[in-house]
Structure 1
Amino acid sequence: MSVMASFGNSPANLSGMIDPAIFEYLKAHGEEEILVGDKLHNITTALNRHISTCQGLLSHIHSTASSNFPSLLKNVEETGIQPEIEGVGELAQFSSQFPYYKYNHRWSRSIQNVVATILLTAWLGGMGSEARPGELGRLLTIEEVGEILKVPVNVKDRDTFHITIEEYLLALTDITDELSRLAMNSVTMGDVSLTLHISKFIKDLFAGFQLLNLKNDIVRKRVDAVKYHVKKVEDVIYDLALRNLLPATNA
């Protein structure tokens, strides 16, 4: 039995010691929260389906030569990220009618995943990069991510949907995990230069993380885990060095 059902529908049965309007108020607002929760569930469920599609498309980078990334990323943007953008737009429009910090826990992980797919796609040379098609290493700022999703970021002066710095940082830790995996798979495909490029980026990113004064326990733990991604790639490069497979300038 739901909490609302346990109140019943007959406040007239209450004794004169309690104002029936109190429970009428609670009932009305409780039902509103249920309706809002159901709507948010439907929106985030649809968004998560788009995220899964996008992540599935991006997973092909592990079996695709970097020279073929441009065509792969074009498909990712059109059939993966564009639906994500639309889903985030619907979420932003609906959720901004209600207190942000009352409901943001319902979508924070989904937004983190969306941001991660955008960051990874851009790093691999997509998302309208001004660099040459297929050129690697572009790290989008949180503001650039907000522009792509058409939503505000790090809002402090009003109660509205936005992307938080925490969500952006957590997304960065997600892509270091994915890139460390790509570093190993690129060796299998004979693309040692990609592995070296990933190694430099992850090291630089981890060095940047060390400059931050992290208060959030979850973010701090996830950032600490990045050092293992760094080590994973370093181990790959060390093995390549032992086998004399590194380019002369990196040997």
Structure 2
Amino acid sequence: MIDPQIFEHLKAKIDEDTQTRDELTQIIQKLERDVSYTQGVLSRVHSTPRSTYPAFLPQVDTSIKLELEDIHALSAAASKHPYYKYNFKWTRAIQDAVFTVLLESWLGGSLVPEGRIGRLLTLEEVGALFQVPVNLTDRDAFHITIEEYLLAVTSLTDELSRLATNSVTLGDHELAVKISKFIKDLHAGFQLLNLKNDILRKRVDAVKYHVKKVEDVVYDLSLRNLIPSSTSS
């Protein structure tokens, strides 16, 4: 009554899908491990004086290069299949990888030309660094989405708000003021966006709390007349 070939064909498709998921999972797990290690190295910035960043950042650059290798492998494997069939498996890892690159660059790292402290990489610059497309609309392949980039930026504001407090502890009042101006500019930029993604909208809403946290730090510095004259304007 029923052609057995129907179920044999379905079994073959299921086995193929399982094999694909396993391949992607192995790559993503390695990416997650490398990103976690990079985040651990980056966390040292909270106890590192700015004067020693040039000695500290090469360690970050080395670990980020491992992330780039993982993303190349992921791009090659994922681009063989419909993007939206499996992208949920790697989107968080990509957000975290983008965050490490954004923070490294903001701190003045050497992964991109003209590295200087306080610089925000664009989505296109992140894609060029990872050597993968961004915001693809003309073909079905692996890419970094606008949402992944923006979520990484919100993580950056959170981390920098923490750094502002710790920089004051290290006696670097100028850095706290620089961070305050940077986060305020980011918050103003976010207000221009018409966000439809619920998760992204909630994360962007949280940026105002990062702004307030750093404003409180700077306000306390101003009360004590500790803001350097070069940054008070």
Match of 1:43 among 19, 27, 41: 27
Q: Distance in 2 between matches of 1:86 and 1:162?
A: 15
Indicate the residue corresponding to 2:65 in structure 1: 82
Alignment gaps of 5+ in structure 1: 1-15
Following TM superposition, by how much is the alpha carbon of 1:247 offset from its aligned partner in structure 2, in angstroms? 2.3
Q: Provide the secondary structure at the position in 2 that maps to 1:136.
A: coil
What are the Cα deviations for residues 103-127 of structure 1, in whole angstroms up to 9, with x where unaligned?
0000000000000000110111013
Q: Distance in 1 between matches of 2:112 and 2:29?
A: 30
Does the alignment pair 1:239 with 2:223?
no
1:115–1:145 Cα contact (<8 Å) kept: yes
Indicate the residue corresponding to 1:93 in structure 2: 76
Alignment gaps of 5+ in structure 2: none
The AA in structure 1 aligned to 2:153 is L
Following TM superposition, by how much is the alpha carbon of 1:130 offset from its aligned partner in structure 2, in angstroms? 4.0
Question: After superposition, where does 1:179-190 map in structure 2 within 5 Å?
Answer: 179-190=160-171
Count of residue pairs the alignment pairs up: 232
Q: Distance in 1 between matches of 2:75 and 2:206?
A: 31
168-177 vs 18-27, greater mean Cα deviation: 18-27
TM-score (norm 1): 0.89
Q: Which has the larger radius of gyration?
A: 1
2:134–2:143 Cα contact (<8 Å) kept: yes
Does the alignment pair 1:205 with 2:189?
no
The AA in structure 2 aligned to 1:112 is Q
Question: After superposition, where does 1:124-143 map in structure 2 within 5 Å?
Answer: 124-131=107-114, 135-143=116-124
Match of 2:88 among 105, 108, 111: 105
Q: Distance in 1 between matches of 2:113 and 2:65?
A: 19
Question: After superposition, where does 1:53-92 map in structure 2 within 5 Å?
Answer: 53-78=37-62, 80-92=63-75
What are the Cα deviations for residues 121-172 of structure 1, in whole angstroms up to 9, with x where unaligned?
01110134444x6x31111111111111111111111110000000000000
What are the Cα deviations for residues 9-59 of structure 1, in whole angstroms up to 9, with x where unaligned?
xxxxxxx2x221221121111111111111111111111110011001101
The AA in structure 1 aligned to 2:160 is L
Following TM superposition, by how much is the alpha carbon of 1:248 offset from its aligned partner in structure 2, in angstroms? 3.7
Indicate the residue corresponding to 1:13 in structure 2: none
The AA in structure 2 aligned to 1:71 is A
Q: Provide the secondary structure at the position in 2 that maps to 1:237.
A: helix
2:112–2:129 Cα contact (<8 Å) kept: no
The AA in structure 1 aligned to 2:8 is E
Q: Distance in 2 between matches of 1:152 and 1:41?
A: 21
2:127–2:144 Cα contact (<8 Å) kept: yes
2:61–2:111 Cα contact (<8 Å) kept: no
2:64–2:100 Cα contact (<8 Å) kept: yes
TM-align CA RMSD: 1.3
The AA in structure 2 aligned to 1:72 is F
TM-score (norm 2): 0.96
118-127 vs 180-189, greater mean Cα deviation: 118-127
2:168–2:176 Cα contact (<8 Å) kept: yes
1:183–1:194 Cα contact (<8 Å) kept: yes
Indicate the residue corresponding to 1:224 in structure 2: 205
